[in-house]
Chain A
Amino acid sequence: MRSQLDACLSAVNEILLGKEQQVRLALACLLARGHLLIEDLPGMGKTTLSQALAKVLGLSFQRIQFTSDLLPGDILGTSVFDKDTGQFVFHQGPIFAELVLADEINRATPKSQSALLEAMEEGQVTIEGATRALPDPFFVIATQNPVSQGGTFALPESQLDRFLMRLSLGYPAKAAEKALLMGDARRNLLPRLAPILDHAQLALLQDEVPKVRVSDALVDYVLRLVEATRTQPQFAWGLSPRASLALLAAARAWALLEGREYVIPEDVQAVLPSVVGHRLRERADPAGHSGGTLVQWLLREVAAI
């Protein structure tokens, strides 16, 4: 199992150069059955990452480009009248894939956004009264462009909470970018990728995550972190119990990726920025996205032992 996971990681890292940490977090997010939000500028490799992940994990892949005129039906699917049979036939929308890349989600209207987010939450969609189950596994990678804020609808806090992690890929390191420039176009490498895991193996791995041991001492550390967000004055609000559960789940998946049967504080610290960053806000900066500095404060000040 372990070796397969490592193989997945290295395969994706072959495509996406110099982003080992982010790739690992994305995989941890998937193993913990969570959804991923990537906030980054265009052209940083969001699509490549999603496609590569889908490829190595053997998942069917769909991309939905969110635009302001996108309707819920464009995501979920619609019934179309079939002249030959005289009946309505349901045409599945792009959401019926195992890995869905929701590109630039903040450009769509809240109505379309929530169609996607509800599907994410429930694992099924209800269209024209009929409930249709989404495939299992079902994994959404949504991207958001942080710069072009004109005419966009930023996801509200309540919706952000539905993503287990928020990542930012960032610029590649110089060496990585040089390799990128010298080598093949990365996307051309994609078709060469072979799936490493099948569905059963992936499900097995996902089932392993809750079994990773979390000791009392570790829970105490998580509690200290959560407690700090609730009592320290610079936090506009504290973390919810859902957030602390998410933190533990992500830390477990991280420990599994590290090949350990138990979680240590370093695991929590590794996933902390991406799990709680989008759930926190600084009191002095009510509008901003300053979760990062708060997370740094947590990583610096809250006793780990």
Chain B
Amino acid sequence: MNKPQSIPRVSLTWLLIAQLLVIIPHLGHLPLWVVGLWLGCAAWRVQIYRMRARFPNAWLKGALMLAAGIGVFVSRGSLVGLDAGVVLLIAAFVLKLVEVRTRRDALVLIFLGFFTVVTAYLFDDSMLSAIFSLLPVSALLAAMIGLQQSTLATRPWATAKLAGSLLLQALPLMLLLFLFFPRMGPLWSLPGANAKGVTGLSDSMAPADIAELSQSSELAFRASFEGQPPPRNQLYWRALTLDRFDGRRWSQSGFARLPLQPSWRKQGEPINYQIVMQPSARPWLFSLDVAQTSLEGTRMMSDFRLQRKQPVDRSLLYNLTSWPQALLEPAASTETLRRALQLPDGGDPRSRAWARQLKQQYPQDEQLVQAVLRNFNRQPFHYTLRPKAVGVNSIDDFLFETRSGFCAHYAGSMTFVLRAAGIPARVVAGYQGGELNPSGNYLQVRQFDAHAWVEYWQAGKGWLRVDPTFEVAPERIELGLEEAVAGENSFLEKSPFSPLRYRQLAWLNQFRLAWDQVNYDWQRWVLGYQGAQQLELFQRWFGKVDGRWLALCLVGGGAIVLALIALFLFKPWQHQRDQQQRVFRRFERLLARHALVRQPAEGPRDFARRAAQALPGQARQIQQFARAFEAQRYGGQGQSLAILEQHLRALRRALPWRLT
């Protein structure tokens, strides 16, 4: 016990397997050399076990660690931050394997392994990866069991089986803890995972960006409503507004980034709903106009978008209340209006001229807006994801030459025309529509639902939403992108295997929707199970709750669960027989006073027969007891100690009283 013990073979086997399993979920973001490092270290360790190689000495270890550090720095550009930190952790986890000499080292490695599993969750928290992580955890536990020098611990499968049964037995307790353990806010802020390569809206928009988004079927967010969701053509999910135009791109001005709470007035019926956002690496949240949320660290910005302090780098659940008929900024500041009239100094002369002409023709702003929309409707505009190329005067070319494009073109050009006509207007970027999952009654909004529309301002009425795309391709709004571009087969043309392309296959579609719902529930009930959600759940189930109540639930539930597990492990019903035996011992003691001692190998029936011959007066009682005992113990009939006791009492009464 005192001297350091070497590591049993089975433990080493499981350690190697566990390492592989721990590293697999990280493969997506690990530099390749770490995998090579692991292979090298594993081979080295196996050779050490086979006595074909030596343990590294202190110099070599230092050099390896240094090399790994440099490697991380080179491939990640830093040694701090979550990304680099995790690579460093894994490198250490891998290198530690080579110097694992004693049980103590192995334990360090196992605990490092548990921690590495936790870091994998920061990168991928899907249900599949959570289920997968049970494998490395089992393997690590098996390695821990393997460290015990017992015969069982020399059999790999028995070890794994025990580890698995430990996990299985721990599961109910874990669920209890998960439900009732009080959640708290972050104690200090930590660097998050880099959400690189996340597709989504950006804070500037050239038409090509949206076209690219429309090729992606990745999920943007899911929304579930209390009650019936609003009709599809009302589902305009605001992300942000783009109020600066430089002749080619629409972008967000610095002003829009200022946290100025705009004035607005609640009107009409509110809608309550919940959104679970996929990581977007952007700080803004999606909402229907005009929304309030209880989410911490979130505020409304000057253009009515909701923005969080940090970017959304993992899936985020929030509850919203929206007033679709609210008045948005009926009295806007001059600065706001000035920005909503900004135009580049030159370019697009035909559009400007048309705007001037319209202004003269329609002095009323609303009439002018209707005229522009009518123009889109009447002229041969064509909704397509493959627009024809435009020249330097992109608005002119689009409005008067090519007349083919999608939402970004329509929204951009209309805003341009309105501004040129002196009406404050801006482009709103976000999503429109979404696919209803009928089984779960929630909407899935995907990247190809990205949309841009226009809002213009009227004194006293505030910002009003108009959607020029609706005039050109109403099916885009009513039915979705797929129907809008049905003619040209451009829907998801770059991802031929996306299940969304095969919605006409009923079973596939059913499966896709069901799977999506499982994932959504996972996000809402597991990943989103944080402070507010927890309290809400308890209040819904149990009414008012407080910390004491939580603690009581945890302790009480834990005791019950533990008692059940103990019952399962100790199997006290097997002691029932012992109680039968106890009664039989009393029977024996009773007869022993009459010089009738049962031989150890004498069965109950033989003994009873002998006793009955010796005590003919009490033969009936003796036989009755013996028969009842036999029937219970061997016949499995009427497991009742009371009956045995009763027969025993009868016998005691029948026997003459005698001291031992």
Q: Do chains A and B touch in the complex (CB under 8 A)?
A: yes
* Residues of A bordering B, CB below 8 Å: 213, 215-218, 260-266, 269, 298-305
Shortest Cβ distance from residue B132 to the other chain A in the assembled complex, whole angstroms: 41
Inter-subunit contact B603/A215 (CB<8 Å): no
Q: A304 to B600, alpha carbons, bound, how many Å?
A: 6
Q: A303 to B574, alpha carbons, bound, how many Å?
A: 19
Residues in A neighbouring B630, C-beta threshold 8 A? 264
Q: Can you list 21 A-B contacts (CB < 8 A)?
A: A213-B635, A215-B634, A215-B635, A215-B636, A217-B634, A218-B634, A263-B634, A264-B634, A265-B603, A266-B603, A266-B605, A269-B601, A300-B599, A301-B600, A303-B601, A304-B600, A304-B603, A304-B604, A305-B581, A305-B584, A305-B603
Residues in A neighbouring B577, C-beta threshold 8 A? 216-217
New A-B contacts (7) at CB < 8 Å, excluding given A215-B636, A216-B574, A263-B634:
A213-B636, A217-B633, A260-B635, A262-B631, A264-B604, A266-B603, A305-B581
Q: Does B602 contact A (CB under 8 A)?
A: yes
Q: Does B606 contact A (CB under 8 A)?
A: yes
Q: A217 to B576, alpha carbons, bound, how many Å?
A: 11
Shortest Cβ distance from residue B574 to the other chain A in the assembled complex, whole angstroms: 8
User: Could you count the A-B residue pairs with CB atoms below 8 Å apart for me: how many are there?
Assistant: 54
Task: Describe B's contact surface by its main secondary structure.
Answer: helix
Residues in B neighbouring A260, C-beta threshold 8 A? 635
Q: A216-B577, A266-B605, A305-B584 are in contact. Are A261 and B600 (CB under 8 A)?
A: no
Q: A264 to B636, alpha carbons, bound, how many Å?
A: 11
Residues in A neighbouring B601, C-beta threshold 8 A? 269, 298-304
Q: What string of 1s and 0s marks CB contacts (under 8 Å) between B306-339 and chain A? A: 0000000000000000000000000000000000
* Residues of B bordering A, CB below 8 Å: 574, 577, 580-581, 584, 599-606, 630-631, 633-636
Q: Which residue of A lies closest to B581 (CB)?
A: A305
Inter-subunit contact B635/A266 (CB<8 Å): no
B599, B600, B633: the one within 8 Å of A215 (CB): B633
Residues in B neighbouring A266, C-beta threshold 8 A? 603, 605-606
Q: A25 to B147, alpha carbons, bound, how many Å?
A: 53
Q: A188 to B635, alpha carbons, bound, how many Å?
A: 44
Inter-subunit contact A303/B634 (CB<8 Å): no
User: Interface centre among A213, A215, A218, A304, by most B CB within 10 Å?
Assistant: A304
Residues in B neighbouring A213, C-beta threshold 8 A? 634-636
Q: Which residue of A lies closest to B603 (CB)?
A: A265
Q: Which residue of B lies closest to A301 (CB)?
A: B601
Residues in A neighbouring B634, C-beta threshold 8 A? 213, 215, 217-218, 262-265
Shortest Cβ distance from residue A46 to the other chain B in the assembled complex, whole angstroms: 30
Closest 10 CB pairs of A and B: A265-B603, A262-B635, A266-B603, A304-B603, A303-B600, A215-B634, A262-B634, A264-B634, A217-B633, A266-B605
Residues in A neighbouring B636, C-beta threshold 8 A? 213, 215, 262
Q: A303 to B602, alpha carbons, bound, how many Å?
A: 7
Q: Which residue of B lies closest to A218 (CB)?
A: B634
Q: A215 to B584, alpha carbons, bound, how many Å?
A: 17
Q: Which residue of B lies closest to A268 (CB)?
A: B603
Shortest Cβ distance from residue B586 to the other chain A in the assembled complex, whole angstroms: 13
Q: A269 to B606, alpha carbons, bound, how many Å?
A: 11
Q: A217-B577, A305-B581, A305-B584 are in contact. Are A261 and B635 (CB under 8 A)?
A: yes
Residues in A neighbouring B580, C-beta threshold 8 A? 217
Shortest Cβ distance from residue A5 to the other chain B in the assembled complex, whole angstroms: 20
Q: Which residue of B lies closest to A216 (CB)?
A: B577
